[in-house]
Homo-oligomer: A and B are copies of this chain.
Amino acid sequence: MTIDVDAMTAYRRDQSALTAAGYPAALVRARNTDDVVATLKYAHAHKIPLVTRGAGTGLAGAANAIDGAIVLSMERMNRILDVDAGRRIARVQPGVINADLAAAAAEHGLWYVPDPGSREISTIGGNIATNAGGACCAKYGVTADHVAALTAVLADGRIIHTGAVTRKNAAGLNLTQLIVGSEGALAVIVEATLRLRRSSADPATVVASFPSVGQAISAVLGIRDATEPCVAELMDQTTIAAVNAMTQMGLDATAGALLLVQYDDRTSEAQASACAGLCSQHGATEVYHTSDPIEGEQFMQARRVAFTALEKQGSALLDDLAVPVPALPEMLSAIESIAAKHDLTIGTFGHAADGNLHPTIIFNAGDADETGRARDAFDAMVNACLDLGGSITGEHGVGVLKHRYLQRMIGPIECELSAKVKAAFDPHGILNPGRSL
């Protein structure tokens, strides 16, 4: 056995900013379920903490190493075991990349729906562990809604099978949905059975510029009442400028907000026309509307690079807040006030149709005062979200980044109950301790 510190360094962190990461004692890159079982039995017997990770694209530090822990990487368990077009399910190992599964399903005329921004690089196991979202959740739900069954390894190395391949299943406790989103704190997923849908129609796309984010949101509320978009993405002025600076896409730089709406059924054209009209009624200064899917995809690409573009402006502390859709104007006002109060730039983009925003604080990580203000602004945004009846995380998870807010959101009795549920899976508390719950 050799100790390769450099190899381990690459497995110390996910992509979150300002999250603590420890130094692991060992790295295991599992090739099969037996490797996972052996690793867990060892960790369980010796009470060694264990952090499971996929591609490390998480944004809340849930996959960050803990001092002295075993890091268990699932990236090599990356086989698509079966795509069953009749049953409309796929069985995959956890290290399969989201986009690879989507491509395999498409070969059968089927669609793996969940589309986190990281889809080209993130793994299905990580998507499930964090209950990842994406752009089309308002219409199609989050990762959880597409998981039918799991095979997972308990802390003591025993293998469990949860759920069923059928569309409906009312047998026993729903252990599947308990494991989804549990950030590796309950069990290690070694196989997932995922639901596939019929491919949707080519999307029609509407892009509209508004003088203010408030007007864009009032348009979203009107659009939601009259049509059923699969995508309704928002970018504020700071984000538009950052995307333009990085991509030279020439988005409307004078706009206070840009709205990007897509429809993907057989009435997309009619719905897109109605949407365009509603945008104008709500004060849009420019409205463009296309049924060309390639052009639509270019606009979506502009939205997808939003975070990368903001990261080029400095260090970026990304938030992930979910509020009821009608509370979006208040949440956006709160973000604006917080930016002003803490003298910081905050670029906001997100999924307007389901109330999930990603305000991103741009700061200079070399400046201790500014870093402190960034942390304070982050706190203030999370608290403002809770005051509006929101959730501290819509799709990135709790991890290390949000752990300190969890008790305010879910309460002490619920935290105690969750800890007892965890103990049922993991009596020695070795699985990702201190995260998720």
When the two chains form their complex, are residues A172 and B436 in contact, meaning their CB atoms are under 8 A apart?
yes
When the two chains form their complex, are residues A161 and B411 in contact, meaning their CB atoms are under 8 A apart?
yes
Chain copies in complex: 2
Separation of A45 and B225 alpha carbons in the complex (Å):
50
Asked if A394 CB lies within 8 Å of chain B CBs, one says yes
Separation of A403 and B164 alpha carbons in the complex (Å):
17
When the two chains form their complex, are residues A324 and B87 in contact, meaning their CB atoms are under 8 A apart?
yes
Separation of A89 and B351 alpha carbons in the complex (Å):
19
Q: Size band of the A side of the interface?
A: 35 or more
Asked if A360 CB lies within 8 Å of chain B CBs, one says no
Residue with the greatest number of chain B CB neighbours at <10 A, chosen from A170, A228, A406: A170
Asked if A348 CB lies within 8 Å of chain B CBs, one says no
Query: What residue in chain B is nearest A156 (Cβ atoms)?
Result: B413
Cross-chain contact of A130 among B170, B324, B420 (Cβ < 8 A): B170
Cross-chain contact of A174 among B160, B180, B320 (Cβ < 8 A): B180
When the two chains form their complex, are residues B164 and A391 in contact, meaning their CB atoms are under 8 A apart?
yes
**Using an 8 Å CB-CB cutoff, how does the interface string of A76-93 with B read, 1 for contact, 0 for none?**
000000000011110000
When the two chains form their complex, are residues B414 and A162 in contact, meaning their CB atoms are under 8 A apart?
yes
Task: Decide yes or no: A414 and B167 within 8 Å by CB, A173-B422, A173-B436, A325-B87 being known contacts.
Answer: no
Cross-chain contact of A413 among B160, B322, B393, B414 (Cβ < 8 A): B160
When the two chains form their complex, are residues B133 and A171 in contact, meaning their CB atoms are under 8 A apart?
no
Query: What residue in chain B is nearest A130 (Cβ atoms)?
Result: B170
When the two chains form their complex, are residues A396 and B170 in contact, meaning their CB atoms are under 8 A apart?
yes
Query: What residue in chain B is nearest A132 (Cβ atoms)?
Result: B170
- B residues less than 8 Å from A87 (CB atoms): 324-326
When the two chains form their complex, are residues A423 and B422 in contact, meaning their CB atoms are under 8 A apart?
no
When the two chains form their complex, are residues B173 and A418 in contact, meaning their CB atoms are under 8 A apart?
yes
When the two chains form their complex, are residues A395 and B168 in contact, meaning their CB atoms are under 8 A apart?
yes
Asked if A251 CB lies within 8 Å of chain B CBs, one says no
Separation of A436 and B172 alpha carbons in the complex (Å):
6
Separation of A421 and B420 alpha carbons in the complex (Å):
8
Separation of A228 and B197 alpha carbons in the complex (Å):
10
When the two chains form their complex, are residues A161 and B355 in contact, meaning their CB atoms are under 8 A apart?
no
A190 CB → nearest B CB, Å: 14
**Using an 8 Å CB-CB cutoff, how does the interface string of A165-181 with B read, 1 for contact, 0 for none?**
11111111111011011
Asked if A409 CB lies within 8 Å of chain B CBs, one says yes
When the two chains form their complex, are residues A170 and B421 in contact, meaning their CB atoms are under 8 A apart?
no
Task: Decide yes or no: A411 and B160 within 8 Å by CB, A173-B178, A173-B422, A326-B87 being known contacts.
Answer: yes
When the two chains form their complex, are residues B423 and A356 in contact, meaning their CB atoms are under 8 A apart?
no
- B residues less than 8 Å from A202 (CB atoms): none
Cross-chain contact of A394 among B166, B420, B437 (Cβ < 8 A): B166
Task: Decide yes or no: A142 and B168 within 8 Å by CB, A173-B182, A173-B437 being known contacts.
Answer: yes
Cross-chain contact of A172 among B142, B425, B437 (Cβ < 8 A): B437
Separation of A266 and B271 alpha carbons in the complex (Å):
10
Separation of A188 and B153 alpha carbons in the complex (Å):
31
Separation of A270 and B178 alpha carbons in the complex (Å):
41
- B residues less than 8 Å from A131 (CB atoms): 170
When the two chains form their complex, are residues A322 and B164 in contact, meaning their CB atoms are under 8 A apart?
yes
When the two chains form their complex, are residues A159 and B413 in contact, meaning their CB atoms are under 8 A apart?
yes
A219 CB → nearest B CB, Å: 15
Query: What residue in chain B is nearest A353 (Cβ atoms)?
Result: B167
When the two chains form their complex, are residues A170 and B324 in contact, meaning their CB atoms are under 8 A apart?
no
Separation of A225 and B86 alpha carbons in the complex (Å):
9
A60 CB → nearest B CB, Å: 9
Cross-chain contact of A406 among B171, B414, B424 (Cβ < 8 A): B171
When the two chains form their complex, are residues B421 and A169 in contact, meaning their CB atoms are under 8 A apart?
no
Query: What residue in chain B is nearest A327 (Cβ atoms)?
Result: B87
Asked if A29 CB lies within 8 Å of chain B CBs, one says no
When the two chains form their complex, are residues B397 and A165 in contact, meaning their CB atoms are under 8 A apart?
no
Closest 3 CB pairs of A and B: A420-B424, A177-B177, A86-B326
Residue pairs across A and B with Cβ atoms less than 8 A apart, 26 shown, are: A89-B324, A131-B170, A141-B145, A144-B174, A158-B413, A160-B411, A161-B414, A164-B391, A166-B322, A166-B323, A166-B324, A166-B391, A167-B355, A168-B322, A168-B355, A168-B394, A168-B395, A169-B322, A172-B410, A172-B415, A172-B437, A174-B182, A175-B417, A175-B421, A198-B224, A417-B425
